[in-house]
Every structure is written in C-alpha cells, then in structure tokens.
Amino acid sequence: MKIGLLICALTLTAVALVAAAPVARIQSILAKPEVLCGRFDQTKRLVGLKRPVTSNGRFCVLADKGVLWRSLQPFSTTLRLTRDQIVQMQGQRVTQRLDARREPAVQMIHDVFFALLAGDLGQLEKFFVVEGDVHEKSWSVTLKAREPGLAQAISGIALEGGVFVKSIAIDETNGDRTKIVFSAIQTGAGAITAEEAALF
C-alpha cells in the first residue's frame, strides 16, 4: 500500500517534470539580447472582410526599457510601450496615451507584450497556461489566458521560434485572426536606428 502510494507520487512528479520541461528547454535555446530589432509582417483576417488586411513595419525590444512597434506600410503609426505608459503616435503627434498611474493595467500589457516578443515564457506563464513542443533548435507553444476577462476576448495565442521568436498568431473569440511574422532580426547596439533610439 505504502509502496503503491510512493510509486503514484513519483509518477505524478515525473509528469510534472515532463510538462515543465519545454519551457526550461525553450528558455535555454532563446537568445536574450539587450537590443533586438527586426521587420514584421502582419496579416489580419477579420470576420466579414473578404480580403485580409496586411501591414508591415519595424519593431525593437530593449531590455529594461520597453518595446517600439512601428507600422510603416500601408499606414504609418508608432506604438511605444514602457512600464510607465503606452503611447500611440502618428509622426510626432501623440494620438493616444495610457498612463500607469491612471491605468494599472499598463504594466501588465507591457509585461505581456514584451514577453511575447522576447519569448520570455517564464513571464508568460504568469498570465497564460503554456503548452509546447521542442524539436532540436526550434519550438512552438500555445498560450491560454488565465485571466477570465482576457480569455473572453482571446481564445488562444500560438508562438513559434528558434533562437528568436519567429511568429505570433492570435485568435480572438469573435473569429478574427492576426498573424505576425518576424524577419531580418538584428541584435546589439547597431540594431536600432538613431531615429528609433530617439523615440525612447
């Protein structure tokens, strides 16, 4: 009887270890540069719209600072996320600003977005249930929101990557789908342009 319990407990532990394994392995595969910039191509399929809406631009992830997301084609708009505020700009004009002092969710939005682009699964596990597979140097995971409010809007997020995150797919509960593919990724101080650095 006692031995039976022991075996049972060991098996459960083993299962837990297997489940946790991909996150740790993926973390070990991922590079964690100070500065990460690249190109993104975004495709949105909206319910009721026959043609997908496509756009592209550049993004930068700066450790300890935040995220810069610049749509360039066909519509130019810049989004800057830090822990303190989220700012949307058209050219130099600020069109929307969310301040963490007024909106406590700003920090959370920043943390999630930052973790998605940096592939920080440890951070993402705070907000999502993470399941994944690893094949040598490439990996894929699916995320389900823990927060009921978020789960109401987003049915699932899929991430694919290797050393960096390669693509993000977001499924919304109403049927809208967004796919973002990253390419031309550069790291290090030279990755960010002077113009972009000035925006921080």
Partner 1 sequence: MNRRNLLAWVWGVIVCLLLAHSAYLLMSDRLAPDTDILALLPVQERDPVLQKAVTHIVASTRQRLVVLVGADDWEQTRRAANAYHAVLAPHTELLRLDDRANSWQADESLVGRHRLILMTGSDERALKRQPESYWINFALSNLYSPFAGGKLAPWQDDPFGLFAAWMQARAGETRIRPRDGRLFVSEGRRQYVVMLFTLGVSAFSMSAQKTLMPLLEEAQQAARMAAPQGEVLKEGVILHAAAAGAQAQWEVSIIGAGSILGIAALIWLTFHSLKPIAWIMLSIGVGCLGALSLCWILFERIHLLTLVFGASLIGGAQDYGSYFLCNRLTAEGQKLDSRQLLRRLLPALTLALVTTVVGYLALALTPFPGLQQMAVFSALGLIFAWLSVICWFPALVRNGAVTSAPAVKWFEGSLWRWQSLRCRRRLLWAGSLFIVAAVFGLSRLDVQDDIRLLQSPPRHLIADQLQMSRLLAAPAPAQFYLVRGPTVEDLLQREEALKRRLDPLVEKQIIGGYHSMSDWVPSFQTQAARRSLIEKKLLDEDGALATLARRIGAGSQWVDSTRDRLRASGLALTPDEFLSTAASESVRHLWLGEVAGGHASIVALRGVSEANLLFLRRAASGLEGVQWVDTVEEISSVLGRYRRYMGWVIVLSYFAVYILLYSRYGGSAWRVLAPIALASAATLAVLGITGQSLQLFHVLALMLLLGVGVDYGIFFKDHPRRSDPVGWLSVGLSALSTLFSFGLLSLSKTPALQAFGLTMLIGTVAVCLIVPCFDYETQQKVGEPAPLAL
- C-beta separation of 86 from 80 below 8 A: yes
> What's the half-sphere exposure (Cβ side, CA atoms, 13 Å) at 101?
0
Which residues inside 12-71 make contact with partner 1, applying CB under 8 A?
Answer: 42, 44, 46-51, 53, 55, 69, 71
- C-beta separation of 24 from 135 below 8 A: no
Residue 97 as a binder of partner 1 (CB under 8 A): the answer is: no
Residue 45, beta-bridge partner list: 177
Which lies closer to partner 1 via its Cβ, residue 69 or residue 139? 69
Q: How far apart are CA 80 and CA 183, in angstroms?
A: 20
Task: Look at the alpha carbons of 87, 93, 96, 98 in this order and tell me if their dihedral is positive or negative.
Answer: positive
Which lies closer to partner 1 via its Cβ, residue 163 or residue 171? 171
Q: How far apart are CA 167 and CA 142, in angstroms?
A: 12
Stretch of 13-21, 135-143, 146-154, 185-193 contacting partner 1, by CB under 8 A:
146-154
Selected from 60, 178, 191, 196, the binder of partner 1 by CB under 8 A is: 178
Q: Which residues bind partner 1 (CB under 8 A)?
A: 42, 44, 46-51, 53, 55, 69, 71, 75, 77, 79, 88, 90, 95, 98, 100, 102-105, 107-109, 113, 126, 146-150, 152-154, 170, 172, 174, 176, 178, 180
